[in-house]
């Protein structure tokens, strides 16, 4: 059961990382902001000018 819980936890963390939820949480922590429209807009302003993650063929 512990292994299953651990696996589910890792899976959720993986999905959160892939789907940028974890990145947004880190952004909020780093900038000491609470989640809001303006915080999310600021998060994307920061990411907008970085090269996007390449997706392979």
Contacts to other proteins by CB under 8 A: 10-11, 13-21, 23-27, 29-30, 35-37, 39-41, 43-44, 46-57
Cβ distance to other proteins smaller for residue 4 or 56: 56
Tokens at 20, concatenated: 């940028």
Cβ distance to other proteins smaller for residue 1 or 48: 48
Tokens at 12, concatenated: 């959720």
Those residues with Cβ within 8 angstroms of residue 56's Cβ, 6 or more apart along the chain or in another chain: none
Min dist CB 15 to other proteins, Å, is 6
**Number of C-alpha atoms within 13 angstroms, CB side, residue 12?**
6
């Amino acid at each position: 059961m512990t292994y299953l819980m651990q696996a589910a936890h890792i899976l959720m963390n993986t999905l959160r990382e892939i789907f940028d939820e974890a990145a947004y949480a880190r952004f909020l922590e780093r900038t000491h902001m609470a989640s809001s429209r303006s915080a999310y807009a600021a998060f994307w302003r920061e990411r907008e000018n970085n090269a996007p993650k390449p997706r392979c063929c």
